[in-house]
Amino acid sequence: ADRVLPHPPRRLPLLGDILDLHVTESSQWAMRDAQRYGTMFERNVLGTRVTYVSGPEEVAAVNDEKVWTRLLGVPLRDLRSVAGDGLFTAHNSEPSWAAAHAILAPAFTQSSMRRYHDSMIAKTALLIDYWTAAGPDAWLNIPADTNKLTLEVIGNVAFGHDFRSFENAAPHELIVRISRVLKYVNRAAYSHPFVEATVFRRARNQHRDDTAVARSLVDDIVRARRVDPSAGRGDLLDLMLSTADPATGERLSHDNIRNQILTFLVAGQETSAGVLAFALHFLSLRPDVVARMRSEFAEVCPTGDLQFDEVGRLRYIRRVVDETLRLWPVAPGYFRKAREDTRVAGHPFEKGEWVFVVLLQLHRHTDWGADADEFDPDRFERGRVPGNLAHLYKPFGTGLRACIGRQFAYHEIVVALALIVRAFDLVPDPRYILKVEETITLKPQNLRLRALTR
């Protein structure tokens, strides 16, 4: 449609604004440009127009499900090589999305978290033992270790698999493969097939090998369960094998079930691990926040044996998680596509055109106040949140295709943080300066801390 939006000033013929892209830090560059060019700007990428929105007015418009819908952006479309038609990477039009959503959604409600609670507690205890054994002088690789935790949790509750992450220093092969897939897809998203076939030939071949191996490792897990159904204990894999779609009476196919498991590993592991790592970074610098978390924990859970019902009462710890997700939404944005001709902040969009919501910038919009760049969990106190919170804070996406794992992530992260700060004093590396790494999701690069047993 005919609209004129702010854009980088040095537009080149044919190449457009590609000098203004960053291959490995694309979300942080989108935030940087949003700060330069405003809440709605565009880049021309080799002839394709990309519109970026990051103000509450624009975000409210594109989140309207009557007019806009989810678009599978380029990086996620490329993830279909590994997660296929799993929930996260399914196209809106694929019937397998609705079937899997109907079968799986009941397992992700807040009350369903009761079933996963013990497992989350037990796996966090393993992390605590692992850090205790490392001793007070060890510099812990925080992103690697939070990944171990979330892998153990999701492996256990989704398909009853013990990856033994805390028994081995090196990550499990499946995780090595999946991490490399995410990294490759993040970099290659806007690359040209010719470039991938030449300059990045080895990486591309490795990528093909990684996706094939990841799929076959998970195929084995699904097949083993079919052979011995008694091995499951009511986990998500059991649910998928035994439940029919209420609308059609059909079961999910083998391929679809494998894709859902890969989806949980892709969507539900690095994300939660990233939030935990960012939170631990902030907490290592803020003993005042840690002290309040501890006193809340002592009040809510005097026995020290954290029960399911108590987790919801850890309100301050929850605000720590919310504030972490505000500053570093580990899924840093999402795509929306117009279902009809429409307008956003007065600018015309034709049916089929799309935008990228820059969560990193929306979450630092001036409506959050002049201190929007500061870490302050109290801003999520009732009565203090901005009146337009619903359009200023979207870490789990929006609408029908919003995150199915939201309650899961909150429960898992609140439990882990509560038990970690009870067990340890976290010591920062005085030389560490936060640098954020992007592998589709975000994580604090090379964050290392020491953990002193209290």
Only one of the segments 10-18, 210-218, 268-276, 371-379 lies at the binding site for ligand HEM (rule: CB under 6 A); that segment is: 268-276
101 touches ligand HEM (CB under 6 A):
yes
Alpha helix ranges (H) inside 381-430: 389-392, 406-423
Q: Which of 359, 255, 272, 258 is nearest to 321 (CA)?
A: 272
Among 82, 120, 275, 447, binds ligand HEM (CB under 6 A): 275
Alpha helix ranges (H) inside 160-232: 173-188, 193-197, 201-227
Only one of the segments 209-217, 284-292, 299-307, 329-337 lies at the binding site for ligand HEM (rule: CB under 6 A); that segment is: 329-337
When CB distances to ligand HEM are compared, the closest residue is 405
**CA–CA gap between residue 199 and residue 404 (Å, rounded):** 38
For residues 155 and 162, the answer to whether their CB atoms sit within 8 Å is yes
User: In the bound complex, what is the minimum distance in angstroms from residue 14's beta carbon to ligand HEM?
Assistant: 29
User: In the bound complex, what is the minimum distance in angstroms from residue 396's beta carbon to ligand HEM?
Assistant: 5
Cβ-in-10-Å burial (0-12, 13-18, 19+) of 406 comes to: middle
401 touches ligand HEM (CB under 6 A):
yes
Q: Which is nearer to ligand HEM, 16 or 79 (CB)?
A: 79
User: In the bound complex, what is the minimum distance in angstroms from residue 414's beta carbon to ligand HEM?
Assistant: 11
Q: Which is nearer to ligand HEM, 402 or 427 (CB)?
A: 402
263 touches ligand HEM (CB under 6 A):
yes
116 touches ligand HEM (CB under 6 A):
no
327 touches ligand HEM (CB under 6 A):
no
CA distances 444 to 105, 377, 424, Å, are 31, 19, 20
Query: Which element (helix H / strand E) includes 132?
Result: helix 113-134
159 touches ligand HEM (CB under 6 A):
no
Catalytically active residues are 271, 396, 403
**CA–CA gap between residue 429 and residue 445 (Å, rounded):** 13
Only one of the segments 1-9, 366-374, 389-397, 427-435 lies at the binding site for ligand HEM (rule: CB under 6 A); that segment is: 389-397
69 touches ligand HEM (CB under 6 A):
no
Please name the residues in contact with 314: beta carbons below 8 A apart, sequence gap of 6 or more: 296, 297, 300, 414, 418
Strand-strand pairing, 40-45 and 48-53: antiparallel
Q: What are phi and psi of 193, to 5 degrees?
A: -55, -35
Among 62, 87, 127, 426, binds ligand HEM (CB under 6 A): 87
Q: Hey, what amino acid is at 214?
A: A
Q: Which is nearer to ligand HEM, 37 or 368 (CB)?
A: 368
The neighbour count for residue 327, using CB atoms within 10 Å, is 18
Among 50, 79, 267, 417, binds ligand HEM (CB under 6 A): 267
258 touches ligand HEM (CB under 6 A):
no
Residues of the shown chain interacting with ligand HEM in the complex, contacts defined by CB under 6 A: 70, 87-88, 101, 154, 263-264, 267-268, 271-272, 275, 330-331, 334, 395-397, 401-405, 408-409
